[in-house]
Chains A and B, each alone.
Chain A
Amino acid sequence: MWEPFALPEDNPVFRRIGPLNLWLLRKSGELWIMHDYTENVTPPTEPPSDGIWKRWALRNGDHSTQFKPTLPDKSIMVKPESEIHLLKGSRVRTYTRVPIWILIEVIGETTVPIVEIPTQVLSNTWFGGFTDGELCYWLTTSARRSMPIELIQPHHAVCIMDIRNSSDLDLNLDKICLRVERLSLFDNGGYLWADDTVITYEGIEGDTQIRNDGVTPIEVPNAKKLNEPRHPHKRGLAERAFFLFRDSGE
């Protein structure tokens, strides 16, 4: 799916990645792209009549196109399957399926990124207080203690969180902010995996160590690196990974 492919003139090419339907058309020196989302098992045969083509003028010598999987552009709020209590000194390893984005690139003398399209539209949520915080995506699928291979789909990347409670208090895991923009992507036989996020809770809210090493996860040691993180992590920063609203906002 991630190999370059040539676009024939005036002949739309269709790709389906999860719920995302994508049409690409090369026409009069331009690249036309249209997309929509359907949950149907049978993919649509024609581009939707009410859809809107987006157009890019190509350079002389642009010969092919390539898809690159990337992780979403904002952090993701994840809920465990059920609330987990981490006793002091304990650790858990959780797995979350995150819908990827598709970066479309045009290849000529140089490779140029054209557009990024999410394979699934995610809702937004707020991580922080009423006066400050950050906008995140909201994931309806939960963080699991294991990830059976039959649950992974081609438009998912499996993100691993290794959560350690180094504090003197128990930690209730209700929601976790997964900073996907700092993760690298790996291909393991058509299944996408991200590197580990190691979260160490020190006991004080706002003082949590988050580490991403960018190395292949131990679950898929032979996976091949596909993509670097959007925003590499600055090491040693203490930050929030857990937050609960204490005010109802009424």
Chain B
Amino acid sequence: MDFSIINEFISPDRFERLVIAFVFLAVALPLVYFVRGRIRSVVTKKHSEHYGMLAAKIIHYILMVLVVVIFLTELGLSLTPLLGAAGILGIAIGFASQTSVSNIISGFFLIAERPFSVGDVIQVGPTIGTVLSIDTLSAKLRTFDNRFVRIPNETLIKSEVITITKFPIRRVDVGVSVAYKENLKRVREILLGIAESNPLALQEPKPMVNFSAFNASSVDLLFLVWTTRENFIQIRNELNEAVKVRFAEEGIEIPFPQVVVHDT
């Protein structure tokens, strides 16, 4: 077999540089991922998951650029023509990818303004989910039925986003309808008693029963109870069930529309 062509192309000196470059790559890449992981875990522990992810990304990109530059230098490639080509390529790509650029810039605004963080539950249009990550182009959510949703950063900047878990406490609104014949003072006492006996209900801010409307066949009330954001779903279920049970025990009628069909 004739190795002369290969020998001519890869001189012993060039071969040595090639080996050094790949050894460097083999050592540097795992090191970059290790440093990224450590930075993420330390910053997350000290601050929050949001900042942990952000710090890890910044460090990752800086280190990766450094690794690539050193790798190419070790190979003996001059960076000047590459950077020139990258400039021309950048302009071409910039024109072709305005949406992506918009998403990247929107991503910076999201990080700076911080309307929500990783781990928050947000609502965007009809979608409700937990924020898994805020990336360069998009934010990733996990919905409660375990679907993965990708929302472009530009959409998040342009549309209304509700951060459900922003504040530590939330109010549960339970709509209650009672018949016109019922004593509203007694109904109010029963509802406040339900709130008082539920350990998940906060006693301050005080639970309230507000008048809502005179409806066609019922007096509508709004039963308002505060709880911590973690207990919101559980207490909403418990309050509705307790209202049904207590009203039945106390003989308070919950009216509902009835249709009488006459057979002629």
Which of A's residues lie within 8 Å of B, judged by CB?
A: 77, 121-127, 130-133, 135, 138, 175, 245, 248-250
Contacts and interface: CB of A to CB of B under 8 A. Distances in A.
Given A121-B199, A124-B199, A249-B226, A131 B167 contact: yes
Nearest to A249: B205
A132 B168 contact: yes
Interface in B216-237: 224, 226-228
A126 B167 contact: no
Contacts of B204: 77, 125-127, 138, 175, 245
Given A77-B204, A130-B205, 20 more contacts: A77-B203, A122-B199, A123-B196, A123-B198, A123-B199, A123-B202, A123-B203, A124-B200, A124-B201, A125-B202, A125-B204, A126-B202, A126-B204, A126-B205, A130-B167, A131-B168, A132-B168, A133-B169, A135-B168, A175-B204
Nearest to A133: B168
Contacts of B228: 124, 135
A250 B202 CA distance: 15
Interface string B168-204: 1101000000000000000000000000101111111
B183 to A, nearest CB: 24
B102 interface: no
Nearest to A136: B204
Nearest to B205: A249
B99 interface: no
A126 B210 contact: no
B205 A245 contact: yes
A132 B229 CA distance: 12
B208 interface: yes
Among B201, B204, B208, B228: residue with most chain A CB under 10 A: B204
Contacts of A138: 202-204
B197 to A, nearest CB: 8
Contacts of A126: 168-169, 202, 204-205, 226
A123 B194 CA distance: 12
Nearest to B231: A124
Contact of B171 (A77, A121, A133, A249): A249
Closest 5 A/B residue pairs (Cβ)? A138-B203, A125-B203, A125-B204, A249-B205, A126-B202
B202 A124 contact: yes
25 contacts: A121-B199, A122-B199, A123-B196, A123-B202, A123-B203, A124-B199, A125-B202, A125-B203, A126-B169, A126-B204, A126-B226, A127-B204, A130-B167, A131-B168, A133-B169, A135-B168, A135-B228, A138-B203, A175-B204, A245-B205, A248-B205, A248-B208, A249-B208, A249-B224, A249-B226
B200 to A, nearest CB: 7
A78 to B, nearest CB: 12
Contacts of A125: 202-204
A137 to B, nearest CB: 9
Interface string B147-182: 000000000000000000001110100000000000
Given A77-B204, A126-B205, A126-B226, A250 B169 contact: no
B203 A250 contact: no
Contacts of B224: 249-250
A246 to B, nearest CB: 11
Contacts of A122: 199
A82 to B, nearest CB: 18
A249 B207 CA distance: 10
A20 B264 CA distance: 65
